[in-house]
Structures are given as structure tokens and as C-alpha cells.
Structure 1
Amino acid sequence: MLLLLLISSAFVLPWAGAGRIIGGKEVKRHSRPYMAFLEIQVSNQSVPKTYNCGGFLIRPDAVLSAAHCVAKEGRVRVTVTLGAHNVRVRERSQQRIHVRDWVIHPKYSPGDLKNDIVLLKLKPRARINENVKFISIPSSRERVREGTKCKVAGWGWTSVEGPSSNVMMEVEQEVQTEDICQQQFKCKYQPQSMICVADEDSEKAPFHGDSGGPLVCNRKAHGIVSYGPQRSILPAVFTRISYFEPWIRKELRKFALQELPGSPSSD
């Protein structure tokens, strides 16, 4: 997927609601069993809208994604589809789960997309099988290095004009020096909590609809698709998962406690 941006380079553009990897190729069916397709329905006083985002399974009861995907004004309903390759048909491998609870990072900032991370609680839990599996995340001490080759998958736009892809697409990306994103996004880019990523040929990237998907490096999810510039597809900025690992673990412990009989959130 190519990350396409619709605002000027002086600003950042989240990629929620758009749909495809630019310059990518279709992946082998069910070869990325951790991938999640998010349908976000937003109802308010105006016409209801539907957005699509990516996400990824990190535990049978938890999916990680970008906060900007669900941080909308109005009533928000989220449905997660696991085990999908073609999201426009009902495949036997698919598991559709209506998400009732999610936790947005308390310091998420919609203006500059700092702390752009959300944890979705799945109930019922995902059924782990050959088509649905979770992916590991790095510890707080791990930091993906400049030059590392990574991959980004999703169902987002395949060109700047759209439309979104029905099948899962993927592109290879490379972790860049922090200077590239600092020059592009100025103070909006925070090296400790973000990762700067690009394609060496400047022709491949995630774009609309790919928000929330994982940056997979060395078989771990190191980043979350967050934002990019308006008039180009590169560089792309990803939420750095290792920075948020302590917060993720804390929230996952809360998920476990809520499942105990007699807890406020248990049925």
C-alpha cells in the first residue's frame, strides 16, 4: 500500500477512511493471519459515515490500531474482521467481531497525531487457527534500527485517487534516519514515540485506509500506520510500539481482570 497524503507538507494527514497500499502487490492468501480489517461507523447529526482502517491481533482478546481511526465525533461503532483476504466477500475463514470497548491512549492528540494508538478489546475472543493468529510486539528496550527492511499490509487505496483494494496488499519499506521526518514535519515528529519510514524508490507507501496497520520488521509489529505529507506519499510516520509497550501491557492486564467473575465489566 502506498501511504497517500492529502494535505500540504506543513501539516499531517491521518490515513483513516482511505483505502490502499500504493505500489504494492497482493499477498498470498492468509499469509498475514494477524491482520485485522476495521469498519468504523460514525453517527451524528449529519449523514452517517463509514471509515475503514487496519489493525492487528496481539492477543486473542486484543487488537492494536491507530487512535485517529476511532476518535470521531458522534456515536462510533467498530467491527473487526479477522482471517480475511478479500474483505468484499464473506470468506469462510473470516471472524467478524463487534467491538464494545476500546482504550485510546490518554495523551492522544488529534491535532498533531501524537500518541496515535488504541487498544480494542475483543469479546468474544478470536478463535486462533491457521487463518487467525496474533503477532508479537517489541519490548520497551527494543528499537528498530535505521536501514531495517520492513513490510506494511492493508486494504487501503492503491493510488492517490483511490479506490480501495478488495484484497490484502503489501509493500516493503525501510526505516529512515530521524532527520528526514524532522525536516518534513518539524516539531510534530517525535523520535521517541514515532518511526520514520520510506521506500528507497519513493514509489511505494501506505495510504488512505491503511491507517492502523502494522509495520512488521523481523517478525514483530514495530509500528502502526499513522500519517504522512499531503502532496507526496513519503516519508510515512508510524507510531513506535516499543515506546508504548508498558502502557499496552498495563491495559492488557486490565482486560484480564475484567474477565474475572463479579468484575464490573464481566457478563
Structure 2
Amino acid sequence: MLPLLLLTSAFVLLPWAGAGRIIGGCVAKPHSRPYMAYLKIQNGSQSYSCGGFLIRPDTVLSAAHCVAMKGAVRVTVILGAHNISAQEQSQQEIPVGQWVIHPQYCPDNFKNDIVLLKLKQRAMINKNVQCISIAKENERVEEGAECSVSGWGRISTRWDMTSDVLREVELKVQNEQICEQVFHNYQRQSMICVGDEYSKKATYKGDSGGPLVCNKKAHGIVSYGPQGNVFPKVFTRISYFEPWIRKQLRRFALQDTPGSPFSE
């Protein structure tokens, strides 16, 4: 039986609640995750960050709740970073020209928490900046699979301590009944239940948008977790949205075609 402590309302991994550092993980080998994107988000006078990952030279995938808010929102992506506070020669800073939030995204229950961000210019692909493959429509990651997540930011649920360097953690795909008992809005077809049942390792506030990588392929997107605890966490299931992603990528490609009705 799950502890009553877990049976609380869910919270979204709000980016402004603290740049999300991996809890219980370790510092990643510099540039070992060349697909990682750091999102600098400005909303009026507020600024915060999220994670994301490069799936095409001009497109980053992330969580919808990172950018779905009122007011003027401006997003800049930093690629090729290890120490986000340093001016590393490997870094490429590119503004986002537009983004497409899933039309059925619901901020109240985090359903369809996915967004595609189109960069104003294509990233220069090199050893420090590379794309990652995403799960196909019929690919599902199974319970017990060991996957990894990476991000920048807080180290603890108790202290507002942040890390400038990329950190990573290994997490296990859980039995979906665990998340169904904790979150009444959990949906098996579009979400993945992930975490460390001993609550020593986790993603946390601000890690939103980062990828769940299993067998060198992105299967999930950091979405939300339980109030006051670090286990379990819910990830957006990429395979469920793969047809929608491909459709949006085709639209992006048409926008780059001179004379196209979709061109900017």
C-alpha cells in the first residue's frame, strides 16, 4: 500500500519554483548529452528556466507548461552547454521564433504536456550539439527499464541550492498502478510513471521539459509530480504524440520553403 504521504494533489514542476537540478544524481561528463537544451524564459519581469532537447537542427521538444502562460513570453535556447553560467565556446544561444503547444494541453491536469519550439536559426551540429531520436508511435518503454534524465538546478527539496553544471540520474520505469493511485488524472496511453521508490533520486522543480532517455532514445518528457514528495514522477509519453510531432515538423519544413502558404 502506498504511504498516505503520497496521496496528495499533484504539482507541476514549475520552472520558476527553482531551476531544476537532479536530486541524488551526479555531474554529467561535459557534453556527454549533446542533445540537451537549456531554455531561458522571460515572462514580463519574471525569468526562469526549463529543460528541453534537440530533435532536429531547428526544433527543440519540451513541456507545454514551460511556455503556456499569460503575457508576453520570450524563449531563448542554449545548446552545447555544460556550465550554464559560463561563456563556454561550445554554447550556441538561439532565440525561439515560434512554438506549438499541443491543442489539447490542459494546465489543470497536465494532460498533453508537450510543446515544439522552432528556432529562429538552425543549430550548428557538431560534437557538442546533436539531435536525439524520439520513440516511434508503436514503441513503449516497459516497466523496470532503467532510463536516465538530466538537468540543471536544485539539488534538494529543502534547500534552494542550484547547480550551474549539467547533472544526470538513473531512474526506473514504474508499474503504472503506482501513478494511478497517486494521480487521478494519470493516463496510461499518454504518460509514463517513473522514479526511485526509495526517494533518493529524482527530477525536481524546474527539470520540466527534459528528456527521459532509454536505450539512447527519448521516450518521455519531465512533466509533474506529487506535492511534498519526489516519488513518483509523471513523464509525457513521446510515442503517443509521435504522429502529432511529425505533422508539426512537416509544417515547420513548409514554412522554410519560399512561396509556401505556411512560410513566415
TM-score (norm 1): 0.93
Contact 1:105 1:115 in 2 (8 A): yes
Shift of 1:265: 5.6
Aligned structure 1 segments of 4 or more residues deviating by more than 6 angstroms: none
1:1-34 CA-partner distances (Å, limit 9, x unpaired): xxxxxx9822333332222111110000000000
Which residue type is aligned with residue 9 of structure 1?
T
Name which of 143, 148, 167 aligns with 1:169.
Answer: 167
Q: Which runs of 5+ in 1 are unaligned?
A: 1-6
Q: Number of residue pairs matched?
A: 256
- Residues of 1 paired with 2:195 and 2:246: CA distance? 29
Per the alignment, residue 250 of structure 1 pairs with 247
Shift of 1:266: 4.0
- Residues of 2 paired with 1:177 and 1:128: CA distance? 37
- Residues of 1 paired with 2:97 and 2:106: CA distance? 23
Shift of 1:231: 1.2
- Residues of 1 paired with 2:116 and 2:220: CA distance? 14
Give yes or no for the alignment of 1:71 onto 2:72: no
Contact 1:15 1:207 in 2 (8 A): no
Secondary structure of 2:194's aligned partner: strand
Which residue type is aligned with residue 104 of structure 1?
I
Secondary structure of 1:100's aligned partner: strand
Give yes or no for the alignment of 1:94 onto 2:94: no
Contact 2:143 2:173 in 1 (8 A): yes
Secondary structure of 1:101's aligned partner: strand
Which residue type is aligned with residue 55 of structure 2?
I
Per the alignment, residue 123 of structure 2 pairs with 126
Shift of 1:200: 4.2
Give yes or no for the alignment of 1:82 onto 2:83: no
Which residue type is aligned with residue 181 of structure 2?
Q
- Residues of 1 paired with 2:32 and 2:10: CA distance? 35
1:160-211 CA-partner distances (Å, limit 9, x unpaired): 122221000011000000000000112x111110000011432110111210
Contact 1:12 1:112 in 2 (8 A): no
Which residue type is aligned with residue 162 of structure 1?
D
Per the alignment, residue 113 of structure 2 pairs with 116
Which residue type is aligned with residue 215 of structure 1?
L
Give yes or no for the alignment of 1:189 onto 2:186: yes
- Residues of 2 paired with 1:178 and 1:91: CA distance? 41
Q: Per residue, is there more strand in 1 or in 2?
A: 2
Q: Which runs of 5+ in 2 are unaligned?
A: 1-5
- Residues of 2 paired with 1:83 and 1:265: CA distance? 30
Secondary structure of 2:248's aligned partner: helix
Which residue type is aligned with residue 252 of structure 2?
F
- Residues of 2 paired with 1:209 and 1:100: CA distance? 22
Per the alignment, residue 3 of structure 1 pairs with none
Contact 1:39 1:50 in 2 (8 A): yes
- Residues of 1 paired with 2:32 and 2:13: CA distance? 27
Contact 2:10 2:224 in 1 (8 A): no
Q: Which moved more, 1:219-228 or 1:158-167?
A: 158-167
- Residues of 2 paired with 1:195 and 1:59: CA distance? 23
Percent identity among equivalent residues? 63
Give yes or no for the alignment of 1:210 onto 2:228: no
Contact 1:156 1:206 in 2 (8 A): no
